[in-house]
Amino acid sequence: MPVIARFRSGLTAVHTATAPTNDLGVGTGASIDLGAFVDFSLADGTTVGAADRIFADTRTVNASTNDDVDLAGTLTDSFGATVTFVKVKGIWVRAAAANTQTFTVGAAPSNGWATMLAAAGVIMRPGAAFSVLTGAADNTAYGVTAGTGDLLRIANGAGASIAYDIVIVGTSA
């Protein structure tokens, strides 16, 4: 099944002040328009500028438990096929706005996927989202090592269950 992926990430903001100066924005008078964007596409394949695997899901984690997302062999794609990543080229995580507490996205303490995220990870507040994109020209990406470096941990603290959306794009080689 061919994969075509387009990554878009960015921020647009307007800041009003006297005499604006900024490397990222264009100022006129008393305001400045800021824009920082990343936009690239991946074709089907396993080489530079390509991806051949996608995993996407909405998941729930009960209070005081973890969701260890195994990037090498236990995930299934939207068509029911097993997804085994060797390289991750992009990841996107969004916390449900209805969550009542934070959770952490990071590497599991044992067999953790630490080429992108350390165990300390990223703290996700209700409604928050984050993405990491390697760029279309980077074929090194973030490596996955089956059995020793393949567990992405979604750690939920005490209190209430949380929900999140996740999309991972990468290659099988």
Q: Report residue 162: phi and psi, to 5°.
A: -130, 160
pLDDT at 7: 81
pTM of the predicted model as reported, rounded to 2 decimal places: 0.86
Distance between CA atoms of 28 and 53, rounded to whole angstroms? 45
CATH ID of 48-171, from 1.20.120, 2.60.40, 3.40.50, 2.60.120: 2.60.120
pLDDT at 59: 98
- Per-residue pLDDT in tens (0 to 9) along the chain, 173 residues: 788 888 877 777 776 765 555 555 555 555 666 667 778 888 999 999 999 999 999 999 999 999 999 999 889 999 999 999 999 999 999 999 999 999 999 999 999 999 998 878 999 999 999 998 887 677 789 999 999 999 999 999 989 999 999 999 999 99
Distance between CA atoms of 113 and 62, rounded to whole angstroms? 22
Residue 119, CB-side half-sphere exposure with 13 Å CA sphere:
6
- The structural domains of the chain, with segments of one domain joined by +, span 6-39, 48-171
pLDDT at 119: 77
Residues in the chain: 173
pLDDT at 33: 63
How far from 68 is each of 34, 93, 109, 125, 133, CA to CA, in Å? Answer: 37, 14, 10, 19, 21
Strands 50-51, 31-44: pairing kind: parallel
Tokens 């990037």 — which residue? 71
Return the structure tokens found at 50.
């390509």
